[in-house]
């Protein structure tokens, strides 16, 4: 099972939209996929119209008792593990448990045989949980808005991976919410886009992506022939190729 | 989490909205447009597919072979003709059908109109929590309105949403649906609506007799069953659907003649003599086409007997046979459609139905013997004759002697088949089995001899044809005759062994215990 984390310490950069659409692309390519919503805000579950079961919370998650709480989406090969409000203290709980080992790998071990790809939609912060995610993932995909602040937070992420002694090649970035009419966007892309860590695919700032909250479907379903659907399909191909090279 | 439910008690079309009305208001039913398709089940006249646990259905050019549960085994495009043969198919379907249906044609059994309606159940988030497919069958009738047959409902749950699955399941149970689906059951209910049932024709003869019945009562039953068998094959013979209609007809005819012959001394109604002549005539009328069929069915076997150089002549020979069959078949068809033929069948039926009342006063005592007693006598007599004549066969015996043993064996076989139910089954089975082996040897010997004679006759007639072709054909036939003769010598050498196996001490004991 390959673990792909969609991560950024910054909020509002399009993480959940990326996780939701990449998970759909992955499942469409025939791979049995689980999208795990780790963000207590629960947006990924919302997009797939899935609410957590009442009996589910942080405790079951930490025990690795995931199977009874996984729910099928409307799409073939794609299941979702919803988040829970109690996930907001997941990092504290991880800290209390101590252990320098790879806690998340242990938690996800129970579903390893069932899924080929696990996609994590991560909460926007830089905590112990983020460290465990970076260590457990085979690939960390980061959406970067082409602005100075976003670039800065990406630089921080690189620093963190170095500190954790994690192979930098695991890190993959792409430009998100791109508006080519803005000089700053064009300039930033010109300056950083050539770097190896950046993928060629970019996701433009599109109304169809914003409307996902309205349709509650991946863009490839709600607006199949849109620019947004094409952009995410391309992004998925590139991400998968990058992951396969590792 | 897939479940299938089915119902056979449908009086009208199922309305999903009504069926699932018991779901709470938190759920909504979304129905797709219904699709209507027509499909046709096929099998051979003698149910060869069904007998092997297989079902074949056709939709347009697409043929599907399934097991009784409806599980796909093979799917292939095939002919749109009404009565396809295995050779009309290609690839795996061709091989499978060749193995199971042999020379028989597939005939349409029932035509079914199937309405397929897929649906989903969504929750208050408009999230799909269950999907399903409703199939409802109707029987097409010529000139009438379709008859509802039954239906199945396949429901598939979504992971993590088990409550709705349980609710739907409970509703289906309440509505009289049963768990599981059987394609065979669907076919059976369609057939029942037409007043038919599977395996309602079998070329093997089987009848239940009561040992205390008089021989006249028993004979009447057997005759009537044989007559029904003959009558059922007539339309297929006239239409020339496949070679086995004629074959089965002739076998039933031979059995009839054999039984009538064996009863001559018991039941001697005044009409017997003339009836026997008429039955014999039917045998003669139907003979030539069957003889030609035997060769034509073996065509590839004949080709395999000869080297490349003689193939051309053989092909010309077979072309001639096919032409001859067309001619002979036309003659047969005319005879079968003739008034006199049907008048005779009617006459025969009346005779059989009145068998008891038509007995002459002098026949009354013998006619009222129990069938068991007559059966024992007849079997004993036939058996003695075979044992005596068979033991006399030596390497120098003329072919005619073997021929006579073959006829005796055949008559014994018919007797064993007619009266099988009067004797203990295991002993009877084992005797029929060893008799069959002896018959196989004698039958092969006879077939080989008949074939050689026929080929030689054909060869002699060649002089009238085109000389260049005649030489080719004569060479091929010469090759065949040589090959067949060698095989016949071979078979003849094996007679002693076959006879010895039939007359083992064990078999003799078995026979004694029976008769």
Residues of A within 8 A of B160 (CB-CB) are: 50, 53, 69-72, 79
pLDDT at site B228:
96
pLDDT at B98 over 70: yes
Which of the four pLDDT bands, split at 50, 70 and 90, describes residue B259? Answer: very high
Q: Where are the domains of chain A?
A: 2-143+211-245
Is B178 in the same domain as B214? no
Q: Chain B within 8 Å of A88 (Cβ-Cβ)?
A: no
Distances (CA, A) of B60 to B38, B43, B110, B148, B323: 8, 16, 14, 22, 33
Pairing of strands B128-139, B147-157: antiparallel
Residues of B engaging A, defined by a Cβ cutoff of 8 Å: 125-128, 158-161
Q: Is A79 on the interface with B (CB under 8 A)?
A: yes
* Separation between Cα atoms, residue B472 and residue B482, nearest integer Å: 16
Per-residue pLDDT reduced to its tens digit, B353-409? 988 876 666 666 677 788 999 899 889 999 999 999 998 988 888 888 999 999 999
Give yes or no: residues B408 and B438 share one domain.
Answer: yes
Are A126 and A9 in contact by the 8 Å Cβ rule? The answer is yes
A100, pLDDT greater than 70: no
Q: Residue B5: its pLDDT value, please? A: 74
Asked if the model's pLDDT at residue B281 lies above 90, the reply is yes
- Per-residue pLDDT, B10: 56
In this structure, the answer to whether residues B357 and B375 fall within a common structural domain is no
Q: Do B413 and B354 belong to one domain?
A: no
C-alpha to C-alpha distance for B8 and B182, rounded to whole angstroms: 11
Contact B314, B480 (CB under 8 A): yes
Of the candidate ranges A178-182, B236-240, B456-460, the one whose mean pLDDT is the lowest:
B456-460
Q: Spell out which residues of chain A touch residue B127, defining contact as CB-CB under 8 Å.
A: 48-50, 74
B236, B245 in Cβ contact below 8 A? yes
Q: Is residue B37 part of a domain?
A: yes
Task: Kindly state the helix (H) or strand (E) to which residue B10 belongs, with its residue range.
Answer: none
The angle formed by the CA atoms of residues B254, B255 and B259, to the nearest 5 degrees, is 120
Which of A49, A51, A72 is closest, CB to CB, to B159?
A72
Mean pLDDT, residues B263-274 taken together: 75
Cβ pair B159:A51 closer than 8 A? no
Asked, for residue B198, whether it belongs to a domain, the answer is no
Q: Which candidate, B330, B237, B250, places its Cα nearest to that of B284?
A: B250
Contacts of B280 (CB under 8 A, 6+ apart): B257
Specify the pairing of strand B2-7 against strand B72-77.
Answer: unpaired
Q: Are residues B117 and B71 part of one domain?
A: yes
Q: B79 vs B46, B105, B244, CA distance in Å?
A: 21, 12, 21
pLDDT at residue B276, as a whole number? 92
CB contact under 8 A, A71 and B158: yes
Q: Return the residue in B127, B129, B163, B165 with the most chain A beta carbons within 10 A, the one to mutate for interface testing.
A: B127
**Which two structure tokens, joined as six digits, stand for B479?**
């090759």
**Consecutive H or E run containing B55:** strand B54-59
**End residue of a domain, out of B364, B388, B421:** B364
Tell me if B125 and A79 make a contact (CB, 8 A cut-off).
Answer: no
Helix axes A128-136, A90-97, angle to 10 degrees: 80
Distance from CA of B29 to the nearest CA of A (A): 15
Q: What is the CATH number of domain A2-143+211-245?
A: 3.40.50.300
Among B125, B159, B160, whose Cβ lies nearest the Cβ of A49?
Answer: B125
Mean of per-residue pLDDT scores for chain B: 89
Degrees, nearest 5: CA angle B103-B106-B111: 175
Q: Report CA-CA distances (Å) from B509 to B293, B383, B504, B514.
A: 41, 13, 9, 9
**DSSP codes joined into one string, B453-469:** HHHHHHHHHGGGS-HHH
Same domain for B326 and B275: yes
Joined tokens for residue B274 = 């003339």
Q: Which of B331, B364, B397 is the last residue of a domain?
A: B364
User: Which residues 6+ apart lie within 8 Å of B105 measured at CB?
Assistant: B44, B45, B83, B84, B85, B241, B242
What's the confidence (pLDDT) of residue A101? 65
How far away is chain A from the Cα of B43, in angstroms, using its nearest Cα?
A: 38
In this structure, what CATH number is given to the domain that contains residue B21?
Answer: 2.40.320
CB count in 10 Å sphere of residue A208: 16
DSSP strands (E only) in chain A: 2-6, 33-37, 71-72, 78-81, 117-121, 139-144, 171-178, 198-204
For residue range B190-240, what is the model confidence (pLDDT) as tens digits? 899 889 999 999 888 989 999 999 988 999 999 999 999 999 999 999 999
pTM: 0.77
The predicted pLDDT at position B362 comes to 64
* Res. B468: pLDDT tops 90: no
Q: Are residues B133 and B73 in the same domain?
A: yes
Q: Which residues of B touch A45 (CB under 8 A)?
A: none
pLDDT in tens, A4-33: 999 999 999 999 999 999 999 999 999 999
User: How many domains are contained in chain B?
Assistant: 3
Residue-wise pLDDT for B474-489, tens only, equals 889 889 999 999 999 9
Contact B190, B45 (CB under 8 A): no
Lowest-confidence pick of A191-200, B175-184, B437-446:
B175-184
Same domain, B342 and B377: no
Which of A:210-229 have CB within 8 Å of B? 216
Q: How far is A203 from chain B (nearest CA, A)?
A: 27
Same domain flag for B217 and B303: yes
- Whether residue B179 sits in one domain with residue B37: yes
Q: Show residues of chain A in contact with B163, CB under 8 Å.
A: none
Work out the pLDDT band at B462, boundaries 50, 70, 90: confident
Query: Could you report the per-residue pLDDT of B315-333, keeping only the tens digit for each?
Result: 999 999 999 999 999 999 9
Q: What is the pLDDT of residue A162?
A: 94
Please name the residues in contact with B317: beta carbons below 8 A apart, sequence gap of 6 or more: B458, B473, B476, B477
C-alpha dihedral (A90, A95, A98, A101), degrees to nearest 10: 60
**Nearest residue of B to residue A69 by CA position?**
B160
Using a pLDDT cut of 90, give the percent of chain A over it: 80
- The pLDDT value recorded for residue A197 is 93
B341 and B472, same domain (yes or no): no
Query: Is A65 touching B (CB cutoff 8 A)?
Result: no
The CA-to-CA distance between both ends of chain B, in Å, stands at 62
Query: What pLDDT, on a 0 to 100 scale, did the predictor assign at position A99?
Result: 62
Highest mean pLDDT among B97-101, B292-296, B360-364: B97-101
Asked which of B160, B193, B226 is the last residue of a domain, the reply is B193
State the DSSP string of B205-274.
------TTSBHHHHHHHHHHHHHHHHHHHHHHHHHT--HHHHHHHHHHHHHHHHHHHHTTTT---TTHHH
Q: Is B66 helix (H, G, I), strand (E, B) or coil?
A: strand
C-alpha to C-alpha distance for B459 and B317, rounded to whole angstroms: 10
pLDDT at B508 over 90: no
What pLDDT band is residue B52 in, cutting at 50, 70 and 90?
very high
Q: Does B439 lie in the same domain as B511?
A: yes
Q: Which residues pair with B28 in a beta bridge?
A: B122
CA distance linking residue B265 with residue B259, whole number of Å: 12
Q: What percent of chain B has pLDDT over 70?
A: 96
Chain B residues with CB-CB distance to A79 below 8 A:
159-160
Beta-bridge partner residues of B300: none
Per residue in A104-125, pLDDT (tens digit) is 888 999 999 999 999 999 999 8
Identify the burial level of B10 via C-beta atoms within 10 angstroms of its C-beta, where 0-12 means exposed, 13-18 middle and 19 or more buried.
Answer: middle
> Which residue matches tokens 């509650």?
A216
Q: Which two tokens stand for residue B88?
A: 């009309």
Give the span between the Cα atoms of A52 and A69, in whole angstroms: 7
Geometric angle at alpha carbon B342, from B340 and B348, rounded to 5°: 100
Give me the CATH number covering residue B312. 1.40.20.10
- Domain of residue B218 covers 203-364
């Amino acid at each position: 099972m390959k673990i792909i984390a969609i991560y950024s310490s910054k909020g509002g950069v399009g993480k959940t939209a990326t996780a939701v659409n990449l998970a759909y692309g992955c499942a469409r390519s025939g791979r049995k996929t689980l999208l795990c919503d780790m963000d207590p805000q629960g947006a990924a579950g919302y997009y797939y119209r899935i609410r957590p079961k009442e009996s589910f919370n942080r405790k079951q998650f930490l025990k690795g008792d995931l199977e009874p709480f996984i729910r099928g989406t409307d799409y073939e090969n794609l299941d979702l593990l919803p988040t829970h409000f109690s996930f907001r203290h997941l990092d504290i709980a991880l800290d209390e448990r101590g252990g320098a080992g790879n806690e998340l790998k242990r938690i996800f071990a129970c579903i390893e045989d069932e899924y080929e790809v696990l996609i994590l939609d991560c909460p926007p912060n830089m905590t112990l949980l983020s460290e465990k995610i970076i260590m457990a993932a085979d690939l960390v995909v980061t959406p970067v808005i082409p602005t100075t602040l976003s670039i800065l937070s990406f630089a921080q992420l690189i620093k963190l991976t170095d500190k954790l002694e994690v192979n930098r090649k695991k890190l993959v970035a792409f430009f998100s919410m791109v508006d080519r009419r803005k000089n700053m966007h064009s300039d930033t892309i010109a300056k950083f886009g050539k770097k190896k860590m950046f993928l060629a695919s970019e996701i433009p700032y599109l109304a169809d992506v914003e409307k996902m909250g309205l349709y509650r479907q991946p863009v490839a379903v709600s607006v199949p022939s849109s620019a947004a659907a094409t952009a995410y399909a391309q992004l998925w191909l590139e991400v998968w190729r990058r992951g396969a090279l590792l | 989490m897939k479940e299938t439910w089915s119902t056979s008690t449908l009086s009208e079309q199922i309305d999903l909205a009504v069926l699932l009305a018991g779901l709470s208001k938190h759920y909504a039913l979304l129905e797709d447009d219904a699709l209507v398709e027509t499909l046709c089940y096929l099998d051979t006249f003698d149910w060869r597919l069904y007998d092997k646990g297989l079902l074949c259905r056709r939709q347009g050019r697409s043929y599907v072979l399934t097991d009784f549960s409806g599980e796909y085994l093979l799917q292939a495009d095939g002919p749109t003709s009404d009565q396809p043969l295995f050779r009309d198919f290609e690839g795996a379907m061709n091989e499978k059908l060749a193995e199971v249906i042999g020379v028989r044609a597939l005939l349409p059994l029932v035509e079914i109109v199937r309405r397929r309606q897929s649906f989903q159940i969504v929750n208050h988030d408009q999230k799909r929590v269950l999907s399903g497919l409703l199939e409802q069958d109707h029987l097409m009738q010529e000139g009438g309105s379709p008859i509802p047959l039954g239906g199945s409902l396949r429901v598939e749950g979504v992971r993590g949403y088990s409550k709705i699955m349980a609710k739907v399941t409970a509703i289906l149970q309440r509505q009289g649906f049963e768990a599981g689906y059987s394609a065979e059951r669907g076919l059976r209910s369609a057939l029942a609506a037409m007043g038919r049932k599977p395996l309602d024709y079998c070329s093997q003869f089987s009848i239940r007799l009561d040992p205390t019945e008089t021989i006249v009562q028993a004979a009447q039953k057997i005759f009537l069953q044989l007559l029904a068998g003959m009558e059922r094959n007539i339309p297929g013979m006239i239409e020339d659907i496949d070679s086995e209609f004629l074959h089965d007809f002739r076998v039933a005819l031979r059995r009839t003649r054999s039984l009538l012959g064996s009863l001559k001394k018991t039941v001697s109604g005044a009409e017997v003599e003339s009836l026997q002549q008429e039955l014999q005539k039917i045998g003669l009328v139907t003979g030539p086409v069957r003889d030609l069929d035997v060769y034509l069915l073996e065509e590839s076997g004949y080709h395999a007997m000869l080297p490349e150089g003689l193939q051309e002549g053989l092909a010309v020979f077979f072309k001639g046979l096919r032409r001859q069959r067309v001619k002979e078949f036309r003659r047969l068809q005319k005879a079968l459609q003739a008034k006199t033929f049907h008048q005779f069948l009617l006459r025969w039926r009346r005779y059989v139905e009145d068998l008891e009342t038509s007995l002459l006063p002098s026949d009354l005592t013998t006619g009222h013997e129990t069938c068991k007693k007559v059966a024992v006598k007849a079997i004993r007599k036939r058996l003695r004759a075979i044992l005596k004549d068979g033991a006399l066969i030596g390497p120098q015996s003329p072919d005619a002697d073997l021929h006579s043993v073959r006829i005796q064996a055949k008559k014994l076989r018919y007797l064993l088949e007619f009266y099988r139910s009067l004797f203990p089954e295991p002993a009877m089975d084992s005797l029929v089995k060893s008799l069959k082996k002896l018959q196989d040897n004698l039958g092969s010997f006879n077939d080989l001899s008949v074939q050689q004679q026929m080929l030689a006759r054909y060869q002699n007639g060649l002089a009238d044809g085109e000389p260049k072709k005649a030489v080719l054909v004569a060479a091929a036939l010469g090759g065949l005759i040589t090959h067949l003769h060698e095989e016949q010598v071979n078979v003849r050498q094996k007679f002693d062994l076959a006879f010895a196996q039939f007359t083992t001490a064990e078999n003799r004991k078995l026979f004694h215990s029976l008769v």
